[in-house]
Amino acid sequence: MTLFFYIKTNYLFLQKQKIMKIAILNGPNLNLLGKREPEIYGSQTFEDYFEILKAKFPQLEFVYYQSNIEGELIGKIQELGFSYDGIILNAGAYTHTSVGIGDAIKAVTTPVIEVHISNTYGRESFRHQSYISGNAKGVILGFGLKSYDLAIQSFL
């Protein structure tokens, strides 16, 4: 009985030590953060903010990827969607147009959190439609870059 308890306790300890792998995927025009419409998206680049996130969550392993090309985002979701613990996706304008990205999220086992820097429901009506939300674990929007921080916390 004592040996079993020791093994079980050590197994639980090792499980807690597993480093979570989180992918952050950004879609079109998010490479222009800090330059594009700062009144909506802020003045900080995502690369600078990503460094802040890595420092805030040193216990996590992050990968960051940005593309303006729909097929590349789908490929990255498929590549990471069976081996990562979480994907944070800001598909930008593809949120409102891409059935393919929505289908890719549905096809993978890794939970996906959809994020948006702005409150898309407080903007133009075409931004109220999401092909991602129905297949995502959750949606966080309108908190600026902090939306990514909140998404990370949802995986912890």
| 48 labeled binding residue | no
Domains and CATH numbers, the chain: 19-155 (3.40.50.9100)
Q: Residue for token digits 């990968």?
A: 63
Q: Which residues are catalytic?
A: 41, 116
Nearest to 151 by CA among 80, 81, 56, 66: 56
pLDDT at position 152, please? 99
Share of the chain above pLDDT 90, in %: 75
Render pLDDT for 73-132 as a digit per residue (tens, 0 to 9): 999 999 999 999 999 999 999 999 999 999 999 999 999 999 999 888 777 776 778 999
- pTM: predicted TM-score of the whole model, two decimal places: 0.85
pLDDT tens sequence across 84-97:
999 999 999 999 99
Label residue 66 exposed, middle or buried (CB < 10 Å: 0-12, 13-18, 19+).
buried
pLDDT number for residue 14: 53
The pLDDT of 13-27, averaged and rounded, is: 84
Amino acid 39: pLDDT: 81
Query: Is 90 known to sit in a ligand binding site?
Result: yes
Q: What is the pLDDT of residue 13?
A: 54
C-alpha–C-alpha distance, residues 19 and 30, integer Å: 27
Closest CA to 112 of 139, 136, 80, 144: 136
Residue 10 marked as a ligand binder:
no
Give the integer Cα–Cα distance in Å for 152 and 87: 9
pLDDT bracket for residue 15 (50, 70, 90): low
Residue 137 CA to residue 111 CA, distance in Å, equals: 6
- On average, the pLDDT of the chain sits at 90
149 is in an annotated binding site: no
Q: Is 103 annotated as a binding residue?
A: yes
pLDDT score for 109: 99
